[in-house]
Amino acid sequence: MRVASCAIGLLRNTGIAAIAPLAFKGTTVLSPSSPSKVTQGTRVSLVAGDYFGMLDAEAHWREKLRAYAVDAVLVPPDSRIAGALRSEAPAWRVAYIDPRSVLLFPPAGPKRAPLPAVSKLLPEGADLELSRGFRLRRRGDLEAAKRALVAAQRNDPLQLFAYGELMFVASLQGDADALRHWIDVALVRYPRRWNPIWSFAEQAWGALGDCEAQRDALRKTRLGSPFVADELRDEIRSRIRTLDCRAVR
């Protein structure tokens, strides 16, 4: 699981207990790569079942959050717990978000200080621009999102998720040429990330409604790599077989 370094930076300065996929001093963290072990935590002991149960917002997840005294959650933005916490009344507050991770704090209250703007806490750079672009894209301000994402890509040409977001913005703007451009640029800059790049491309072509290009992107995935999980390999092959482009012509 990938998370933003600047989200980690925000937490590092708080000394709070959190559910998150990385470990750093003063914060309780569970690493999915070693889910039975909590490292550098002083306040909470999580077991793997509870971590993944809370991540998926399974039964009694609220009670477990309270039991573990969790006061921050750093998870993928599309995870079930992220959506559940944002749907609470009152909702948990978003301190940071980008395509990789969302950092959530409990609702505001008399004992909780207001969240400062991320731009006040973090230096200008690729991560901050990526966050801006992601937020703007979700709000529908596509031109501003593109400017922020291009700035992220220029600040760090190896910022893989900036390319994925730029592809998606291009698809939302109906700009097939721009989508092809960002695919090509990503492959030149980051040839070792061939499969993630084509995964981004497949999703973007699907959003654009170009079924043939979507299927072509799926076919470009290198399934022979020993680093491709069997489940993913089977899923991609199944999608290639079942994607019927005749139905959308």
Q: What is the pLDDT of residues 51-71, one digit of tens each?
A: 778 888 888 888 887 777 676
Main-chain dihedrals φ then ψ at residue 97, nearest 5 degrees: -150, 140
The whole-model pTM stands at 0.75
Rounded to whole angstroms, how far apart are CA atoms 14 and 31?
19
pLDDT tens, residue by residue, 184-204: 999 999 998 999 999 999 999
pLDDT tens, residue by residue, 218-230: 999 888 877 778 8
Q: Can you give the residue ranges of every domain in the chain?
A: 5-119, 123-248
**123-248, CATH topology level:** 1.25.40
Rounded to whole angstroms, how far apart are CA atoms 12 and 178?
38
pLDDT score of 33:
36
Mark the ranges of the chain whose per-residue pLDDT is less than 70: 1-49, 69, 71, 111-123, 247-249
pLDDT score of 36:
33
